[in-house]
Every structure is written in C-alpha cells, then in structure tokens.
Amino acid sequence: MDRKAIRRRITQLLDSCEGCSNNSSKNRPFSKIESACGGCNVFQELTQLRSAIDRPAEEKFKPLLMKGQDMSKTDLMILLENNVDRNSIRNSLKMSQKAFNTLLRDYGLLNTYTKVKEESEVSKLNLSVEEFVQLNYVEKKSYDEISKLKGFDRKQIINWKYNNKSQIKELLDQKGLSEKDAKKGRGNSVKKDGVLKVETLKTNLVEGLWKEKYESLESEYKALSARAIVLEGNFNQLRSKHTELEELNAACRSNEAELESLKEEKDGFIKQQYHNSYLIENQKKRITDLILDNKKLTQENDALKSLVKLWI
C-alpha cells in the first residue's frame, strides 16, 4: 500500500470514529486516548498505519543533524524532544559518549527527556484498563507474567499503571476490588523459594563448600599478586625507557637549536657572497670602461702628434 492509499484509509477510519462514545474530545492527550481506545480494532489499525507513513526522526530532522558542531542548545532540545537517537546526535557532534553526556549535563538536558521518551513508549502499549484489571487483580498475574503475556517490559507495565492509576482506581471501585486484591495469592511461591534458598545455603555450609570457595579465592589472589609483581616490573622498565626517551628528546631539541643557528650563519654567508659577487661585477665593468677610455685617449694623442709634426 502506497502512502496515498494509507492516507485515504486513515481518513476512512477517522470518519468511522464519528459518533463513538469514546470520541468525546479532540484535545485529549494520547495516553488518555490509548487507555480508552486501546482494545478497538480501528485504533490498532490507525496505530499501524501511522507507523507505516511516519519517517524516522533522524530523517525528519536531518538539516539539524547536518549542522554538526554548530548545533545550538535549542537545536539539541528540538532533537531530544522528538526522540532523535542520541547516538546519531553524538556522531553529528563528533563527540565521545563522555563528552556528549557532559554537554547535556551542562545544558541541563541529560535526564530531561528520558522520562518523556519512556512515557512515549508507554503510550504505545496495546493494553486497556479493563484488560489490566482482569489480569492483575482478578487473575492475580504478576507484572512479569503480564509483560511476558503482552510482550512488554516489566518497567513499561509499571509506568503504564502509574499513568492510568486514576482510571484503574475508578474501575476497581466499580468492581468492588482494591489494591490488596492484586497482592493476594502471590506471596506463597516467594516464601517457598526463600525457604529453599536458606536450606540450600545451610547444606552448602555443612558440606564445606565455603572452604572450597575460600581456597579458590586464595589461589586467585595469589595469581593476581604474581601478576601484579610482573606488571610492576614491566611498569618500571617502561618508566626507565620513558626517561631515556626524554633525554634523547632533550638532546634532539639541543641539536635542532644548533642546526637552526648554523642555518642562519649559512644564510649570512650566502648573502655576503652575493654582495661580493655584485661588487666584483661592478669592478669588472668599470675596468672595461677604463680600458676603452684609455684606448680612445691613445688614439687621440697619436692624432695630435701627427698634426704637430705637420706644423713643424
């Protein structure tokens, strides 16, 4: 069934709820609706269809998760309020579990939304008040037995009962039952188990099992002591090696400083060499110019000598 067909089916189911005696208010919290309509086939089908079209919280709030380390406190509150997986948030922030818990603690968010999440999970339990009263108060079933029967956790059953305590009390008053009725008939097995455990302990003590346990613990202690001595020796070796490496590191730092000084001195020599080369080139050019000037002057002198001879 595609999403469009699912929406049409949801509309049909909601229309069928018109006129139902439980459909008295449109502003009731989901926990109240679940307690009143939990046994209704329409409600169960609506719950299944809703889960089929709902996108995962991580997908809905992907833009916030993509902020990564730029997430603000408000962003974190929105993600936690909408039950986005905390590991997904932590991975987006690129934090370790310890650092992430510290951040939530500093913001006052570490335990704020835990209860909300539990209540959200409890509200999804497919269990009506009438069914719970029948199982717990009439059939004398324990929380563990109910949780196995319905496929829920024991903690969810306890939280569900707390959230619906007013409706449970009202139904108990109608049936003439009380809280004590749920506890009757469930203590004998516990007492029997307790007696059996005491008898077993006495038997074990008589047979000397405590001595075997003591010897086992003593041998384990000796093995741990020997292991501790070996570890201490290894630790001392590592500490000695660490000291040696520290000394080598100090020597390397000294050599690096000396090498840096030599590099600076070398750079000075190179600069001086470039300067001297520049001066030499200038001198060569000047000498060349002087030779040319001398040659011209010699030619002019010879010409003057020739003129003088003609005049004489």
- The angle subtended at Cα 36 by Cα 32 and Cα 37, nearest 5°, is 115
Tell me the helices (H) and strands (E) count for the chain, helix number first: 16, 0
Helices (H), 54-113: 57-60, 62-65, 73-81, 86-93, 97-107
| Residue 81 and residue 117 in contact, taking contact as beta carbons nearer than 8 Å | no
Q: Which distant-in-sequence residues (6+ apart) come within 8 Å of 192 by Cβ?
A: none
Full-model pTM: 0.31
Q: Distance of CA 190 to CAs 138, 180, 196, 197, Å?
A: 20, 17, 10, 11
Strands (E), 252-293: none
Compute the distance between CA of residue 126 and CA of residue 34 in angstroms, rounded to an integer.
Answer: 8
Output phi, psi for 163, to 5 deg. Answer: -70, -25
Compute the distance between CA of residue 165 and CA of residue 153 in angstroms, rounded to an integer.
Answer: 18
pLDDT of res. 223: 86
Encode the chain (312 residues) as per-residue pLDDT tens digits. 677 787 788 788 777 877 777 666 554 545 456 556 766 777 777 777 776 666 777 788 888 888 888 888 888 888 888 778 888 888 889 888 888 888 888 888 776 655 444 444 445 566 788 888 888 888 888 888 888 887 777 777 887 887 788 888 888 888 887 776 655 545 444 444 444 445 554 555 555 556 666 777 888 888 888 889 989 988 989 998 998 998 898 888 888 888 998 999 898 889 998 888 899 998 999 999 999 989 999 988 888 888 888 886
Is the Cα dihedral 225, 227, 231, 234 positive or negative?
positive
Q: Distance of CA 275 to CAs 184, 270, 288, Å?
A: 108, 9, 20
Q: Distance of CA 169 to CAs 121, 134, 181, 267, Å?
A: 23, 13, 12, 93
Long-range (24+ apart) CB contacts under 8 A made by 246-254 are: none
> What are the respective helix, strand and coil percentages of the chain, to the nearest 5?
80, 0, 20
Is the Cα dihedral 110, 112, 113, 117 positive or negative?
positive
